[in-house]
Structure 1
């Protein structure tokens, strides 16, 4: 079975990307899938792309396996979401390597404190916690991370 292809997202995929985002996010146990959440994400995807996201998908022969949203000018990895059926297959590592190709010297991200599986993974991948603070929109405590290429790093 061939590997998923990482490619730019297409506007006609935005609703499917929003659904993947919801399913991945809800797989953390921090929220429950709902029509309201899906609608919010469906509205957010095109707005974020217009606001600076470079949006990519992992395409598994026509099925969306993951989404990756990066704000290149801000050096910010905004979303890395893996569809539940594709979790645990090293796809996150591939997407992070792709992110490092686009942002080779520094990457910032934030992660919900309650999403322990994700923030522990980012820490194993070399990200360093910079701060914690409550998100003003939903009140959830967010952990802000930074990865910076070390002078001897050969990525």
Structure 2
């Protein structure tokens, strides 16, 4: 099986990226699919890109398998969502490795506290818990994590 190619998202793919985002979010059990949610996510993609997102997709021969949104100046991994059909295939790890080529020394992220599968995965990948805060825009308790490259004493 070939690995999906990670590349910048094209503007004509934003609606499909929104669908992948919604399906992955719904797969966490923390939300339900709806036309309203899909419209909001699609609008948010465009808004976030205007505000500095670098949006990438994992392209599996024309099918968007995952989305990755980075805010490079802030060293912020904002969104990493893998489509349900591609979960469990190490695609998240591939996206995280790509992210570490973009933000080599340090990055932070937030994760919904109830999404235990995600934050436990980030902990296994070397992210260190820093704090919890409520996100006012959606009411979710967010766990904040930071990753720093380990310096060798050489």
How far apart are the structure 2 equivalents of 1:117 and 1:8?
Answer: 27
Long gaps (5+) in structure 1: none
How far apart are the structure 2 equivalents of 1:152 and 1:25?
Answer: 37
1:23-45 superposed Cα distances (whole Å, 9 cap, x missing partner): 00110000000111001001000
- Secondary structure of the 1:73 match is helix
Match of 1:28 in 2: 28
Long gaps (5+) in structure 2: none
Give the TM-score, by structure 1 length: 0.97
- Secondary structure of the 2:22 match is helix
1:132 is the counterpart of 2:112: no
How far apart are the structure 2 equivalents of 1:90 and 1:54?
Answer: 22
Aligned residues: 153
After TM superposition, give the deviation of residue 152 of structure 1 in Å: 2.2
1:48-68 superposed Cα distances (whole Å, 9 cap, x missing partner): 011100000000000000000
Once superposed, which parts of structure 1, at least 4 consecutive aligned residues long, lie more than 6 Å away? none
- Secondary structure of the 2:130 match is strand
How far apart are the structure 1 equivalents of 2:114 and 2:125?
Answer: 18
- Secondary structure of the 1:12 match is helix
Please report the RMSD computed on the Cα atoms of aligned residues, expressed in angstroms.
0.9
Give the TM-score, by structure 2 length: 0.98
How far apart are the structure 1 equivalents of 2:80 and 2:129?
Answer: 17
